[in-house]
Structure 1
Amino acid sequence: MWLTPLYRRVLRVGVPAFLLAMSVGIWMSDEDRRAMLHEGIAGLVDKVQSREEFQVKMMTIEGASPAVDKALRSMLPVDLPASSFDIDLTALRLQVMALDAVEKIELRIKPGGILSAVVTERQPAVLWRHARGIEMLDKNGHRVAGVTSREMRPDLPIITGDGADQVTAEALALIDAAGPVLPRLRGLQRQGERRWDVVLDHGQRILLPEVDALRALEHAIELQRSDDLLGRDISVIDLRDPARPVVRMGVDARNTIRGARGLPLLGPDGQVLANDG
């Protein structure tokens, strides 16, 4: 009767709790008992994780090329069948996304113990030749894979020069606009990471400006359609200054004029030929 409510709660709850905690502490102070407890918990966890409904028995991959398929399977952290608890889908996805050829991947474990991977690969749109070799790029300039030679993908247009990969979208727009000269297109060459040269066969070039390159090329194509400008003995159409386009004649045309004026002729390299006399 003389105990306050606080003391009664301490006697009713606190003391038993203290005695229980002390008993557990004494029991856990023994190393063998601790090991036995840990083994028991681990065994229980393993038993649950090894249940049939948590087993992944096989992996299916859709949309992947043979190379990506092989790489993806090699990234699986365990051999199947295995517990789904042993497969970190988030970590696996990050690994797969590190592959240049992969644009997107969907990973999930389907009923029946099937690990499903649906892959979207990047589609090569252009070849980029640079000092370190040749690479396939997608439409956004992202690397897809390397190739050892141009002949491995003759169906793809080629761009060259430092920084060309950073403006792949512009390069593809220029190639699409090439129209009637597309069969003669050898590639696009990036100059000083600022502008493009359109390289054609027979040594002809169209020098485009830094700004509005597409409009300048479309103007050159209009001239080609109306006047067959590129069908003449012309080596360069210089459109770097749209207000003052310059046409550079080929060696044969220049020699015709020089011969009529009694001037020394030029060699294939554009240099004056030595006078044997």
Structure 2
Amino acid sequence: MRQVDTDSAPARRDPAPSRWAYRLHRLWLTPAVRKFLRLGLPLAVSGLALTWVFAQPQNRSAFTEMYSDIRRSIAERPEFMVQVMAIDGASEELSADIREILPVDFPISSFDLDLEAMQEVVEQLDAVARVDLRIRPGGLLQIDVTERIPAVVWRVQGMLELLDEAGRRVAALYARTDRADLPLIAGLGADREVPEALELIAAAGPIADRMRGVLRVGERRWDVVLDRDQRIMLPETRPVDALEQVIALHQAQELLARDLAAVDMRNPARPTLRMRPHAVEELHRIKGIELGDILQ
């Protein structure tokens, strides 16, 4: 039998992986590593490539010009052009003011209109309570306005202002006769108490034909000013109740038809009547006559 020389036979390959191969295989099975190699690495390479491309000034200029050309070609398409402006809900004067503060040159692309900024500009007008801007089909810039409604005329320091029912300024007024249909309030701080002033004006309905307005005194209370230089001086608290008491007395005894200068209700528990000087003299004269008759 022939003997086999084991020293000259080739070594058999070990099927087990090497240590490094085993480690790389285990690393590949890690979800974070697989996600990085499949997604993160390509993105990183692409980012580096884009950074290198845009690091060149000529590449940046070319890209900017290309983007501007594409945007201009889209923005200037007929379906994106705005041709005219329409304003609804505003008076002619307010509409003119809106067109003045929004000097838009038509036609203009809708991409060039900043509707939010335009809305903020229009809302700064005193007469505007709320405004909504939108672009409607057909190239129409639609502006819907909710206008403040004047409720009173406010006179202060020789100036006239129109205020709404909340005391917000609507517009300046040049002559009282321009809005003779609105009640008049006067005095510093009257604009902050317009709701209360309107309550007083409503309560004074039975003497509305004689009322000239309500005056804020010391920024803390009201006087109701009547014709014939008469006043009803009201307290700081519950002025409407005090005014209703005076009107009830007037309806029962024609109080305000008498020769009075003022009805002082600042202390409702102790109303005071202020008579005119000649009325006081006449009263004294009458009392003197009565006293003389008694002495006789």
| Partner Cα distance (1:256, 1:11) in 2 | 111
1:149 to 158, 170, 175: 175
- Name the structure 1 match of 2:154: 128
Q: Does 1:137 align with 2:178?
A: no
Deviation for aligned residue 1:77: 5.9
Q: Secondary structure at the match of 1:156?
A: coil
Q: Where do 1:22-171 residues align within 5 Å?
A: 24-76=50-102, 78-131=104-157, 133-171=159-197
Q: Percent identity?
A: 45
Pair 1:118–1:21, CA change in 2 (3 A): closer
Deviations 1:242-275 (A, max 9, x none): 110011112232111334577xxxxxxxxxxxxx
Q: Does 1:240 align with 2:249?
A: no
Deviation for aligned residue 1:55: 1.6
Deviation for aligned residue 1:76: 3.0
Higher alpha-carbon Rg: 2
Amino acid at match of 1:241: N
Deviation for aligned residue 1:167: 0.5
Q: Does 1:179 align with 2:205?
A: yes
Pair 1:18–1:175, CA change in 2 (3 A): closer
| Partner Cα distance (2:45, 2:228) in 1 | 98
1:197 to 223, 231, 241: 223
Deviation for aligned residue 1:24: 4.7
Give the aligned length: 262
Mean Cα deviation higher: 126-135 or 21-30: 21-30
Amino acid at match of 2:164: D
C-alpha contact 1:75 1:92 (8 A) present in aligned 2: no
Pair 1:44–1:258, CA change in 2 (3 A): same
1:227 to 234, 239, 253: 253
Amino acid at match of 1:122: R
C-alpha contact 1:237 1:247 (8 A) present in aligned 2: yes
Pair 1:256–1:143, CA change in 2 (3 A): same
Unaligned runs of 5+ residues in structure 2 are 1-16, 29-33, 289-296
Mean Cα deviation higher: 89-98 or 23-32: 23-32
| Partner Cα distance (1:258, 1:214) in 2 | 34
Deviations 1:7-48 (A, max 9, x none): 9x8999999877766655554443223211110011112222
Deviation for aligned residue 1:82: 1.1
Amino acid at match of 1:226: A
TM-score norm. by structure 2 comes to 0.80
| Partner Cα distance (2:265, 2:50) in 1 | 88
- Indicate the RMSD between aligned Cα atoms, in angstroms: 2.7
TM-score norm. by structure 1 comes to 0.85
Unaligned runs of 5+ residues in structure 1 are 263-277
| Partner Cα distance (1:30, 1:228) in 2 | 95
Q: Where do 1:246-257 residues align within 5 Å?
A: 246-257=272-283
